[in-house]
Amino acid sequence: MSNQKQPVVIAGPCSAESYEQLYQIVEQLFALHIDTIRVGVWKPRSRPDSFQGIGEEALKWIQDIKKLFPVRFATEVATPEHIDKALHYGIDMVWLGARTTVNPFHVQELAEALRGVSIPVLIKNPINPDLSLWIGAIERMQKSNVGEVMAIHRGFSSFDVSKFRNIPLWQIPLELKTIFPSVPLLVDPSHISGNRAYILEITQKAFDLNYDGCMVEVHPYPSQALSDKDQQLSPEEFAHMLAQLKIRQPYSTNHVFVNQLEELRGKIDQLDREIVESIAMRMALVLEIGEYKKDNQVTVFQMERWNEIFSTRATWAEKMNLDKDFIQHIYKIIHEESIRIQTEVVSQEKKN
- Between 145-149, 245-249, 264-268, 322-326, the lowest mean confidence (pLDDT) is in 245-249
pLDDT tens by residue, 171-206: 999 999 999 999 999 999 999 999 999 999 999 999
Domain ranges of the chain: 8-244, 255-351
- For residue 6, the model assigns a pLDDT of 83
125-136 tens-digit pLDDT: 999 999 999 999
**Can you spell out the DSSP letters for 113-174?**
HTTT--S-EEEEPPSSS-HHHHHHHHHHHHHTT-S-EEEEE--B--SS--SSSSB--THHHH
| Sequence letter at residue 211 | Y
Predicted confidence (pLDDT) at residue 47 exceeds the cutoff of 90: no
Mean pLDDT for the stretch of residues 84-88? 97
Q: What is the mean pLDDT of the chain?
A: 93
pLDDT greater than 90 at residue 156? yes
- Region 245-259 average pLDDT: 88
Residue 2 above 50 pLDDT? no
For range 239-261, the mean pLDDT: 90
CA-atom Rg of the chain in angstroms: 25
Dihedrals φ, ψ of 192, to 5°? -65, -45
CA 146 to chain centre: 22
Alpha-carbon span 201 to 198, nearest angstrom = 5
Q: How far apart are the first and last CA of the chain?
A: 68
Q: What is the pLDDT of residue 3?
A: 44
CB of 230 closer than 8 Å to CB of 204: no
Using CA atoms, how far apart are residues 46 and 55, in angstroms rounded to an integer? 17
> Which homologous superfamily does the CATH classification assign to the domain defined by 8-244?
Aldolase class I (3.20.20.70)
53 pLDDT above the threshold of 90: no
| 347 pLDDT tier (thresholds 50, 70, 90) | confident
User: Residue 113 and residue 90: Cα distance in Å, rounded?
Assistant: 16
pLDDT score at 113:
97
In percent, how much of the chain has pLDDT > 70?
96
Instruction: State mean pLDDT over 261-290.
Output: 95
> Which of 193, 102, 186, 118 minimizes the C-alpha distance to 151?
186
| Other Cβ atoms closer than 10 A to 319 | 9
pLDDT confidence of residue 91? 98
The CATH code belonging to domain 255-351 is 1.20.59.10
- For the question of whether the overall pTM of this predicted structure is more than 0.85, the answer is no
Which tens digits make up the pLDDT trace of 211-228? 999 999 999 999 999 999
